[in-house]
Structure 1
Amino acid sequence: MSTEPALMSLTAVANAIAQKRFSSREATQSCLERIAQWQPRLNAFMAIEADAALAAADAADALFAKGNLSGALHGVPMAHKDMYYDAGKVVTCGSKIRRDFVATTTSTALQRLKDAGTVRLGSLQMVEFAYGPTGHNSHYGPVHNPWGLDHITGGSSSGSGAAVAARLTFAALGSDTGGSIRMPAHFCGVTGLKTTVGRISRAGAMPLSQSLDTVGPLARSVEDCALLLGLMAGADPDDPTAVAGPLPDYAAAARESIKGLTIGVPTAFYVDDLDPEVAAILDETIAVLKREGANTVQVELPDQRQLTAACQLVLAVEAAAFHKRWLIERPQDYGPQVLMRLQNGLAIPGVSYLEAMRWRGPALAAHLAAVAGVDAVIAPVAPVAAPTIAESDVGNSPDAEAVIQRLTRFTRPVNYLGLPSLSIPTGFTRGGLPVGMQLVGRSFDEAMLLRIGAAFQRATDFHDRVPKPA
């Protein structure tokens, strides 16, 4: 394990600070040094608050010197996607429209991490209004992949994926409405957890699609995601959709063996039209899980293309509804790609939207029936590793839209069904780009996904690999 604080995992650095092996200031300074080195290459940060971060770290150290720990993440520096409201801070949501928007409240998820003792490093870049899967942003420029600077990070949590991969922050909040946590995790070689709708409060997080939005972390390991989920999950009076009730011990689940578990491998769709290297990594991932004691069986899922189409329809309408006033008053302030998508949403008939919403229950029931005999399903996050920024740039590449549609095929069905999914790094292409697989579970059974993912990471080191500056 590295002795450089910034290269440690979230769990390890929290333990090191609590055991006084180094201070919050040392951990924060280590991250800031890497940010200074990487930010000009990556464009991962929207705002860097170095002086404020060091002052907060000093305050955390002073509090600890008096014998007080504020929580499980006391003094740990972090940065998050710039769509989580933080009272008194500018929250741009990656947009021109909210370039000067100052939040008056703090999002519940962010507040729970603050209550655990975290130190704010700044805010992270994102796709405009979280409405895009690649990491392009016409206002602030694209975020670059630390494993290959000409390649995309995935979106919309683009800065989160790049910053966690380059070890600029120990973890970061993302959001997943159509794949926006899992795709950056896959393309950047980090771990990302798309939670069940209702598992973590969405209060104070910029809305995109009211029935699809989910809050979740991107981190270096499954163990880190388990820690973060345990801190953020649960009921919230400010979000009536956040589910009440006892929570599993996610950290304990991540330590359990997977011997005797059964993992489903889809017979179609998720194994169709895969890049040969991705297909080989899927096979190798399954082999590792078998060696760790899991069984695998083939599962025949309902038509996933219908789920993808339904997800796109619901997302388009709900996003357009949220943006209607700005679309009327400030259309010129949107980037062309986001404007086109929002305007398309306005053209979808209400009957079509209601049909798509009404079908969700039967579709979920059919899915659960198909996976009744398995503990989780494994599938690629995307059929390819990260394409280049140029070839996925709508407006400048004639094939960009086809590239984007291919990238999002495997993530949207999970969003439509509201299920949890964990993306883990599972290998690299010959060109050095990361590849991730997703584990899909039952509603509110994130613990099972963490259990399986952590077992894989105990047997491999893909999540520990660090990109080197070009």
Structure 2
Amino acid sequence: MTDPLPFRGAADLAGDLRARKLSAVDLTGAFLDRIERLDPYYHSFISLSAESAMADADRADRELRAGIDRGPMHGIPVGIKDLIDTAGIVTAAGLAVRAGHVPDRDATVVRRLREGGAVILGKLTLTEGATLLHHPDTPVPVNPWGATRNSGFSSSGAGVAVAAGLCTLALASDTGGSIRIPSAFNGLTGLKPSWGRVSRAGVFPLAECLDVVGPMARSAADAAIALSVIAGADPDDPTTDLSQPPDYAAGLRLPIDGVVIGVDWERIATDCTPSVMQGLRAIAATLKTLGAIIAPVRLDLPDPQRIVALAAAGISDAHRETFPAFADQYSPAIRAMLEAGMKLPARDVAAAMSAAERFKGQLRASFAHVDLLLVPAMTGPAPSILGSGIEGADSVPHSMTYTLPFNVSGSPTITFPCGFDGGLPIAGQLIGPHLAESLLLRAAHAFQSRTEWHRHRPPAPR
């Protein structure tokens, strides 16, 4: 059965746009109408660019009619997390102190999307400064799978918008799990690239040594298309890798015969709910039937509390120009976080750096024997936001057990749905060595070619 228009994949839509079965103007108009009707409930967009989106869609149609094809994202409507610069459009990063910040140029990833013909619908809500909590004046995005459930952080709006069919895919960032956590909670496929694979030029930092930019989509196929457009070296970001990215979409067609996937069943069983364990076993069993080899490994992950000093110091550094000078424009929660970061002893940061290097070494040793690792994305479904004045964030530190370490290592990961628990999505996560995005996408796509979890849609809002 064909998905309704708002839930169709980018590759599918691209085919219809080129075959003149659908126009980019009609497609963009359908998304804008849907946003107008539904987003007053979901609160996923912080701002819309309806006029420029329709102009971009019209240009995409005219170019396609003239035989100008900019690639797989040509005419595809997307959303952008509101810490990624968009020329002439406020990019506030969820911060009151940046409410008037209007960039004069696009971030590199946005420029590459535009050059690829994508249609930018608007900017997506995030937590304050991409931290754990939303600013008190910002409506919290509503998880479409359950209004009383956490929608994730910090890319909450991106997770909700894609899951609710308000954009085809979204660009987001991840410092400790901000692509993977909302992807898991909202039933999406989220790709966290290797550190340096995608430019961060024009992206407001949370902690530069950990930050990455990547796509949140409904499938590995769509994530591959988006990554093909945004990946690659950038002179404006000297940390980007200089190697030429492969054709990620083309790589999906390759088999996974002989791919060795390591799993520490004993370790993850102590952390996960039975439903997540069942989902992970289903991933392993499905990939095994496709030729992958499932191998036992021992996974020694650092306690997030041992390495969180890296993030805390980075966050404090990112705000040095505005904090404490404009402390009154920060909420009490982030103010306390920044003050703690400023007081952090240097030896704690050094200890975190040492723990990070040890983990990187252990991970390199693991990848000498396996090609990928299978772990949970989150240890259970989205927690309740009820009974807590801080949006359920009291459950967050433990939940970062399987996310933050792979920011510290700079490893690429892909998160994708593998089941449900009481009507809420659950997800698995594959980890690869540096620059192994193509293999990660191929393995996730192989799983999704044999299963339907990524095709489930949340109920319509009442």
TM more than 0.5: yes
1:325 matched to which residue of 2? 321
After the TM superposition, which residues 108-123 of structure 1 pair with which residues of structure 2 at under 5 Å, given as runs?
A: 108-123=108-123
Of 296, 299, 309, the residue aligned with 1:298 is: 296
Of 179, 187, 195, the residue aligned with 1:189 is: 187
1:417 matched to which residue of 2? 409
After the TM superposition, which residues 37-56 of structure 1 pair with which residues of structure 2 at under 5 Å, given as runs?
A: 37-56=37-56
1:105 matched to which residue of 2? 105
| Contact 1:71 1:115 (C-alpha < 8 Å) held by counterparts | no
Alignment deviations for residues 307-359 of structure 1 (CA, whole Å, 9 cap, x no partner): x2343110100110121232211112112222222221111112321342244
Secondary structure of the structure 2 residue equivalent to 1:97: helix
Work out the CA distance in 1 between the residues paired with 2:3 and 2:354.
54
2:333 maps to 1:341? no
| Contact 2:6 2:31 (C-alpha < 8 Å) held by counterparts | yes
1:68 matched to which residue of 2? 68
Name the amino acid aligned to 2:310.
V
Alignment deviations for residues 400-444 of structure 1 (CA, whole Å, 9 cap, x no partner): 554122222211111111111100111111x21111111011011
1:144 matched to which residue of 2? 142
1:435 matched to which residue of 2? 426
| Contact 1:77 1:170 (C-alpha < 8 Å) held by counterparts | yes
Secondary structure of the structure 2 residue equivalent to 1:64: helix
Q: CA deviation at 1:303?
A: 4.1
2:177 matched to which residue of 1? 179
1:458 matched to which residue of 2? 449
| Contact 1:392 1:403 (C-alpha < 8 Å) held by counterparts | no
Secondary structure of the structure 2 residue equivalent to 1:438: strand
Q: CA deviation at 1:463?
A: 1.0
Alignment deviations for residues 145-182 of structure 1 (CA, whole Å, 9 cap, x no partner): 11111211111011111111111111100101000000
Alignment deviations for residues 15-60 of structure 1 (CA, whole Å, 9 cap, x no partner): 2112211100111122123212320221000012223322321232
After the TM superposition, which of the residue ranges 146-155 and 60-69 deviates more from structure 2? 60-69
Q: CA RMSD in A?
A: 1.7
| Contact 2:310 2:352 (C-alpha < 8 Å) held by counterparts | yes
Q: CA deviation at 1:267?
A: 4.3
Secondary structure of the structure 1 residue equivalent to 2:148: coil
The structure 1 segments of at least 4 consecutive aligned residues displaced by more than 6 Å after TM superposition are none
Of 311, 318, 321, the residue aligned with 1:315 is: 311
Secondary structure of the structure 2 residue equivalent to 1:450: helix
| Contact 1:4 1:30 (C-alpha < 8 Å) held by counterparts | no
Alignment deviations for residues 234-293 of structure 1 (CA, whole Å, 9 cap, x no partner): 110000000112222211222222222111112454332322222222222222222222
1:60–1:262 CA distance, 2 compared to 1 (3 A): same
2:8 maps to 1:8? yes
Name the amino acid aligned to 1:5.
L
Q: Structure 2 length as normaliser, TM-score?
A: 0.95
Identity over aligned residues, as a percent? 36
After the TM superposition, which residues 44-443 of structure 1 pair with which residues of structure 2 at under 5 Å, given as runs?
A: 44-132=44-132, 136-305=134-303, 308-391=304-387, 393-394=389-390, 400=392, 402-429=394-421, 431-443=422-434
Secondary structure of the structure 1 residue equivalent to 2:104: coil
After the TM superposition, which of the residue ranges 117-126 and 287-296 deviates more from structure 2? 287-296
| Contact 1:81 1:174 (C-alpha < 8 Å) held by counterparts | yes
| Contact 1:9 1:220 (C-alpha < 8 Å) held by counterparts | yes
Secondary structure of the structure 1 residue equivalent to 2:32: helix
Q: CA deviation at 1:214?
A: 0.4
Q: CA deviation at 1:116?
A: 0.2
| Contact 2:260 2:371 (C-alpha < 8 Å) held by counterparts | yes
Q: CA deviation at 1:468?
A: 2.1
1:337–1:139 CA distance, 2 compared to 1 (3 A): same
Work out the CA distance in 2 between the residues paired with 1:437 and 1:298.
17
1:303–1:62 CA distance, 2 compared to 1 (3 A): closer
Name the amino acid aligned to 1:457.
Q
Q: List alignment gaps of at least 5 residues for structure 2.
A: none
Work out the CA distance in 2 between the residues paired with 1:446 and 1:155.
23
1:392–1:240 CA distance, 2 compared to 1 (3 A): farther
Work out the CA distance in 1 between the residues paired with 2:266 and 2:104.
48
| Contact 1:271 1:379 (C-alpha < 8 Å) held by counterparts | no
| Contact 2:302 2:359 (C-alpha < 8 Å) held by counterparts | no
1:310–1:108 CA distance, 2 compared to 1 (3 A): farther
Name the amino acid aligned to 1:335.
S
1:286–1:392 CA distance, 2 compared to 1 (3 A): farther
Q: CA deviation at 1:139?
A: 2.4
Name the amino acid aligned to 1:375.
D
Work out the CA distance in 1 between the residues paired with 2:280 and 2:387.
25
1:44–1:352 CA distance, 2 compared to 1 (3 A): same
Q: Structure 1 length as normaliser, TM-score?
A: 0.94
Q: List alignment gaps of at least 5 residues for structure 1.
A: none
| Contact 1:78 1:169 (C-alpha < 8 Å) held by counterparts | yes
After the TM superposition, which of the residue ranges 30-39 and 143-152 deviates more from structure 2? 30-39
Work out the CA distance in 1 between the residues paired with 2:104 and 2:387.
39
| Contact 1:426 1:437 (C-alpha < 8 Å) held by counterparts | yes
Work out the CA distance in 2 between the residues paired with 1:428 and 1:392.
24
| Contact 1:143 1:153 (C-alpha < 8 Å) held by counterparts | yes
Q: CA deviation at 1:141?
A: 2.0
Secondary structure of the structure 1 residue equivalent to 2:268: coil
Work out the CA distance in 2 between the residues paired with 1:164 and 1:50.
17
Q: May I ask how many residue pairs the two structures share in their alignment?
A: 461
After the TM superposition, which of the residue ranges 318-327 and 85-94 deviates more from structure 2? 318-327
